[in-house]
Amino acid sequence: FKEGEECCSPMPLDAMKGPREKLMYVLCVLTKTGTQMPDYLATVDVDPKSPTYCQVIHRLQMPYINDELHGMVWNTCSSPSGDTTKKRNQLVIPCFSSSRIYAVDTGTDPQAPCLLKVGRLQAREMAGQGLWEGTRGTLNLLIP
């Protein structure tokens, strides 16, 4: 920035001043473990005041095996330039070993997310729609 200029949106240090997260979402990959079970999204309680602190409180099992969940992203960035209408209430989860992409609702019941949609798009198709950037297995949503 030039002297006297400031960024128009919150910075990572601003996020640290906000309230502490109470939940954490963790991708649990069972692909290539010999279990023949689908991967799942675990919800972990990270509220030190909670009786279930540091415990998995929910597992959202995906409908297919051998997906290899990889690199989830939120449906919107964490600091959308002061636009309070944008909510981080969905996770988008691409799969490394399949062409599936899962959309997960974390807004309705954050402690027990549910599957919204399953898609099967190839990287080159998504690139044409302005949705995919980077290499296979890395999803960066380009949100206007």
Q: Where are the domains of the chain?
A: 12-140
Q: Give me the mean pLDDT over the 90-116 stretch.
A: 93
1 compared with 37, residue with greater pLDDT: 37
pTM over 0.85: no
User: Cα–Cα–Cα angle for 100, 38, 91, nearest 5°?
Assistant: 50
Three-class SS of residue 88? coil
Tell me what the mean pLDDT of segment 85-93 comes to.
85
**pLDDT-based confidence at residue 125 (cuts at 50, 70, 90):** low
Mean pLDDT along residues 60-78:
88
Which pLDDT score is estimated for 142? 42
The answer to whether 92 and 100 have CB atoms below 8 angstroms apart is no
What's the whole-number average pLDDT of the chain? Answer: 80
Q: Determine the pLDDT at residue 30.
A: 95
**Distance of alpha carbon 76 from alpha carbon 92, whole angstroms:** 10
Top-confidence residue, 26 or 89: 26
Distance in angstroms (rounded) separating the CA atoms of residues 106 and 21:
14
Question: Quick one: tokens of 24?
Answer: 């954490």
Q: pLDDT band for 20, please (50, 70, 90 cuts).
A: confident
Q: Which pLDDT score, from 0 to 100, does residue 10 have?
A: 62
Residue whose tokens read 């991708």:
27
pLDDT at 143: 39
* pLDDT value at residue 61: 98
Phi first, then psi, for residue 128 (nearest 5°) are -65, -25
Higher pLDDT, 29 or 88: 29
